[in-house]
Amino acid sequence: MSQHSDPAADLLPARMLNEFVYCPRLFYYEHVEGVFLHSADTRRGAEEHKRVDAGKGGLPKAKKTAAAAEPTSISSAADRAGETDAPGAPDAVTSGNAEGAPSESAAADSAAPTPPLDAEIIHARSVMLGSERLGVVAKLDLVEVTLGATATCATDASAPSEAGPRSPRSAASVCPVEYKAGAPREGDDGRDLWDTDRMQLGLQILLLRENGYACEEGVVFYRQTRQRVRFVLTLEDEAWIRRSIAAARACATGAIPAPLDHSPKCVRCSLAPVCLPDETHFLQHADDELPPPEAQLGLPGLTHDLLPGDDAQAALLADGFATDDPAWLALPEPRLPRSAGDGEVRRLMAPDTDTKVLYVNTPGVMITKKGETVVVKEKGDTLSEVRMKDLHHLAIFGPAQISTALIQTLCEHEVPVSYFSLGGWFYGLTRGHGLTNVFTRIRQFARAAEPEQALPLARLFVYGKIRNQRTLLMRNHVEAPAPALRALKHAASAALVAPAQATLLGIEGAAALVYFRHFSGMIKAAEDPDEIPGLEEPTAIAPAQKEFNFDFKTRNRRPPRDPVNALLSLAYSLLARDCTVAALAVGFDPYIGLYHQPRFGRPSLALDVMEEFRPLVADSAVLTAINNRMLTPADFVQAGEAVNLTMAGRKRFFLAYEKRMSDTITHPLFDYKVSYRRAIELQFRLLARTLTGEIDRYLPFLTR
């Protein structure tokens, strides 16, 4: 949607029209929402354009003609270049019959038809041209200008144009040459242009004409096959281009177009991980069914009066959830969509990122950059070096110095920096601007401002958390007590029909009480099977546990007062950080929540979605670190009541946490493999789709 008042600023970049021809939704993402992601193809294309873009744009001044004299063309680099010497000087002048070496450059630069012997050829690179009448602006890779020729571009200069009478032949006849990384299309008559290239070159020809140059054809040079394909603009092409410009303008002011339906184009599209074409189709046709809120009527103990933080009431409710009251049996079970099955939803993204997190855990170090490498030094000694391209996050614990040059580079590379206290409290984040998806934030704010609109989503966050807590207990508890599993099941069902946010908080608190009462049953520090905790009493402590002091009875924090709580606090901090980064990457404001209420410095929306992943990522990483003996008693220190990890202990826990985030799982809805890191990002993207109305309902991430 255009926000500009300057008509010149409203010109559509020709590259965006390429995208529109490829896929209107891709155009919308890039042009309207400002979303762009690099793929291998786009990186290769950008790299290969560097040489072209390094050149100077300089076309000889066009002869003014009737068409060009009208106020249709904007001030262009070409015009300016023609009027001055130095900046706009042509960067290459060759004679028409020069015998160039068969280099790629020569092959491409001599792309136009062979000029007559008396012709002089100028190559102008990176030429900017615009036209208000067309409503388009473009940067042309290369324009081959033939001076003093009686015939240059090989087609009929007097052919009619939809824009009106064609300009008479000017002194210079020009031929745009476009560089492409790939290969030409196999057409019926041999090599042919792709539609996107046809659009791009056609626009360049029209722009050159609008600016007073005689231009009949252009050339695309395909680097992969080192082949040139000529393109002569027909009236039919011109009409198609003008129709496409009008359609793209209309698209930009409307709603986002639907994704393509299982198109092969999506496989090569750099925005597939953002667009989620198959996932969106799947969820648009999903047959999920959740119980209506009225279903809560008559459920035992579920009232409007539940107060968050009232432990006595939560305990009563927790016990109430464990009953066999028939009212619970009458509550319909939620039905979520079946998994997609083979081939229905393609995984169009890598299962996980191939970059890593750099944790800086030593107080007082200096973090700087050396070229494209991040360097961590302590008193002049290098502790670690990581290449910028191998990094997706930098996490700093405690006091450290970081150079502004490094921060600037990290912002440019879109690598966030998170800051934690030595005790593991996540208190800040630095990242580049990257504020795209403005429409997502508008919908987020609107939904958050209306509690009754936010409640259905809040119910699902809490439902997902409790269901996953129950699953973790079933999977890992030495003998999961049936009343606890029953209570968690009822609590999850109650969350789905909670009549108010306060009720939901009470249900969540009651479920947490049940879950953490039995958490110690998942800790398998005992070597002797007879000493396995949890068999008799949930709080029974085996000697080995005592030694490790993992005698976890209940969740405590600020400060954590035992090693397990210290680990849980750190794990939740790391997960909150990762959810904040994911929320920002999707375009949300992480501080405006739909369940968690705003509070200074609290990333409420990140905490909302994090609920589903607490048991699966954070609790699970803690259990792995303890049960696999990754930590020993020596990894903890006690100061007063507070227990914390040593530097060495924290380092070991980072490994356990990152390993869990990288673990690949089968996505419960889409049936493909993804890491937890990717699954979290997916949840935020699905939440955004729900808020913008593209899919009807947000579905929580439930492990099987």
Residue 209: which residues within 8 A CB-CB, separation 6 or more?
Answer: 67, 161, 163, 166, 167, 215
596 annotated as a binding-site residue: yes
The answer to whether 277 contacts ligand SF4 (rule: CB under 6 A) is yes
Alpha-carbon span 331 to 45, nearest angstrom: 57
CB 527 within 8 A of CB 545: no
Residue 480: which of 437, 534, 543 has the closest Cα? 534
Q: Is 584 in the site for ligand SF4 (CB under 6 A)?
A: no
Angstrom distance (rounded) from CA 352 to CA 682: 12
Please, which residue, 262 or 673, has the CB nearer to ligand SF4? Answer: 262
Q: Which CB sits closer to ligand SF4, 26 or 201? A: 26
CB of 181 to ligand SF4, least distance (A): 18
Residue with smaller CB distance to ligand SF4, 49 or 346: 346
| Residue 201 near residue 234 (C-beta atoms within 8 A) | no
End-to-end CA distance of the chain: 42
As measured in angstroms, the least distance from the Cβ of 279 to ligand SF4 is 10
Residue 272 Cβ vs ligand SF4, minimum distance, rounded to whole Å: 4
Choice between 261 and 287, CB closer to ligand SF4: 261
Q: Does 278 bind ligand SF4 (CB under 6 A)?
A: no
Report if residue 275 touches ligand SF4, rule: CB under 6 A.
yes
Beta carbons within 8 Å of 399's beta carbon, 6+ residues apart? 363, 364, 422
Q: Binding to ligand SF4 by residue 521, rule CB under 6 A? A: no
- 285 marked ligand binding residue: no
Closest separation in Å from C-beta 26 to ligand SF4? 4
Q: In the complex with ligand SF4, which residue's Cβ is closer, 271 or 582?
A: 271
* CA distance linking residue 375 with residue 377, whole number of Å: 6
How many helices, marked H, and strands, marked E, lie in the chain? Answer: 23, 21
β-sheet bridge partners, residue 362: none
Using only the alpha carbons of the chain, give its radius of gyration. 32
Token pair for residue 23? 């896929």
Provide, rounded to whole angstroms, the least separation between the CB of residue 22 and ligand SF4. 6
**Is the distance from CB of 268 to CB of 194 less than 8 angstroms?**
no
CA angle 112, 117, 122 (to 5 degrees): 50
Q: Provide the residue count of the chain.
A: 704
Contact status: 16 vs ligand SF4 (CB under 6 A) = no
Residue 19 or 217 having the CB closest to ligand SF4: 19
Residue whose CB is less far from ligand SF4, 259 or 398? 259
Say whether 508 counts as a known binding-site residue.
Answer: yes
Among 32, 252, 272, 674, interactor with ligand SF4 by CB under 6 A: 272
- Which residues inside 232-271 make contact with ligand SF4, applying CB under 6 A? 259-260, 263, 265-266, 269, 271
Helix (H) or strand (E) holding 179: strand 172-180
Q: Does residue 345 touch ligand SF4 according to CB under 6 A?
A: no
The tokens for 630 are 């990754």
Backbone angles phi, psi at 359, to 5 degrees: -95, 125
What Å distances lie between residue 69 and 63, 132, 524, CA to CA? 10, 13, 84
Among 11, 16, 17, 23, binds ligand SF4 (CB under 6 A): 23
Q: Is 177 in the site for ligand SF4 (CB under 6 A)?
A: no
Burial of 212 (0-12, 13-18, 19+ CB in 10 A): buried
Shortest separation between residue 38's beta carbon and ligand SF4, angstroms: 14
- Single residue of 14, 21, 25, 301 touching ligand SF4 by CB under 6 A: 25
Q: Which stretch binds ligand SF4 (CB under 6 A): 22-30, 90-98, 105-113, 324-332?
A: 22-30
Nearer to ligand SF4, 269 or 504 (CB): 269
* Minimum gap (Å) between residue 349 Cβ and ligand SF4: 10
> What does the binding site for ligand SF4 look like in residue numbers (CB under 6 A)?
23, 25-26, 259-260, 263, 265-266, 269, 271-272, 275, 277
Annotated binding site for Mn(2+): 508, 596, 611
